[in-house]
A and B are shown apart, each in its own frame.
Chain A
Amino acid sequence: MTVDMSNILCTKSHEYLVEKDDILTIGITDFAVEQLGDIVFVELPEVGAAFEKGEVFGTIESVKAASELYLPVSGKIVEINENTQLKPEIINEDCFGEGWLVKVAEYNSEDYIEAMHYDQYKDFLELEEEEEE
Chain B
Amino acid sequence: MKDQDKKTPLYQEHKALHAKMLSFAGWQMPLQYTSVKEEHLTVRNKAGIFDVSHMGQFFIYGKEALLFLQKLVPQDLTLLEEGKAVYSMLVNEQGGIIDDLIIYRLPDQNKTFKFLLIVNASRIENDLNRLLNKKNNYDLIIDNESDKLSMIALQGPRSSEILEALGLIQENQPGKFKVKDINLLNMDIIIARTGYTGEDGFELIVKNENAVKLWKKLLEKGENFGLKPIGYAARDTLRLEASLLLYGQDMDEKTTPVEASLNWTISKNKKENFSGKDIIFNQLLNKNINKKLIGFKMLDQSVPRHDYEIYIENQTAGHVTSGGFSPCGNIGVGLGYIDTQKPFTEGTKIDIMIRGKFHPAEIIKRPFYSKN
Q: How far is the CA of A59 from the CA of B355 in the complex (A)?
A: 9
B355 with A43: CB separation less than 8 A: yes
Asked if B303 and A38 sit within 8 Å, CB to CB, the answer is no
Residues of B within 8 A of A37 (CB): 32, 35-37, 233
**A41, A43, A63: which contacts B36 (Cβ < 8 A)?**
A63
- Please count how many residues in chain A sit with their CB below 8 Å of the partner chain's CB atoms: 14
Interface centre among A37, A65, A85, by most chain B C-beta atoms within 10 angstroms, is A37
**Closest residue of chain A to B1, judged by CB?**
A132
Provide the residues of chain B in CB contact with A40, threshold 8 Å: 301, 303, 325, 332
Q: Are B37 and A63 in contact (CB under 8 A)?
A: yes
The answer to whether A63 and B324 have CB atoms under 8 Å apart is: yes
- Within B136-153, which residues are at the interface with A (CB < 8 Å)? none
Closest A residue, CB atoms, query B32: A37
B302 interfacial by beta-carbon distance below 8 Å: yes
Say yes or no for A12: interface residue by CB 8 A criterion.
no
- Interface flags for A36-51 (1: CB within 8 Å of B; 0: not) read 0110110100000000
Residues of A within 8 A of B32 (CB): 37, 64
Assembled-state Cα–Cα distance A62/B327 (Å): 11
A38 adjacent to B355 (CB under 8 Å): no
How far, in whole Å, are A86 and B328 apart by their CA atoms in the complex? 17
Q: Is A61 an interface residue (CB 8 A)?
A: yes
Q: A37-B36, A38-B35, A43-B355 are in contact. Are A64 and B302 (CB under 8 A)?
A: no
Give chain B nearest CB distance to A69 CB in angstroms. 12
Nearest neighbor of A68 in chain B, beta-carbon distance? B355
CB distance from A63 to the nearest CB of B (A): 4
Give a binary string over B288-317; 1 marks a CB under 8 Å from any A CB, 0 the rest.
000000000000011101000000000000
In this complex, the member of A37, A63, A64 whose beta carbon has the largest number of chain B beta carbons within 10 angstroms is: A63
| Neighbouring B residues of A61 by C-beta, 8 Å | 302-303, 325
CA–CA, A43 and B35, complex, Å: 22
- A41-92: which residues lie under 8 A (CB-CB) from chain B? 41, 43, 59, 61-66, 85, 88
Give, as a whole number of angstroms, the nearest-CB distance from A31 to chain B.
Answer: 14
Closest Cβ neighbor of B20 among chain A residues:
A35
What residues of chain A lie closer than 8 Å to B302, measured between beta carbons?
Answer: 41, 43, 61
Interface residues of B in 230-278 (CB under 8 A from A): 233, 237
B234 nearest CB neighbor, chain A only: A63
Give chain A residues whose Cβ lies under 8 Å from the Cβ of B305. Answer: 65-66
User: Would you list the 10 A-B pairs with minimal beta carbon distance, nearest first?
Assistant: A38-B37, A61-B303, A63-B36, A40-B325, A41-B301, A63-B325, A37-B36, A63-B37, A64-B233, A37-B35
Some 9 contacts from A to B, beta carbons below 8 A apart, are: A37-B37, A38-B35, A41-B301, A59-B355, A63-B36, A63-B40, A64-B233, A65-B305, A66-B305
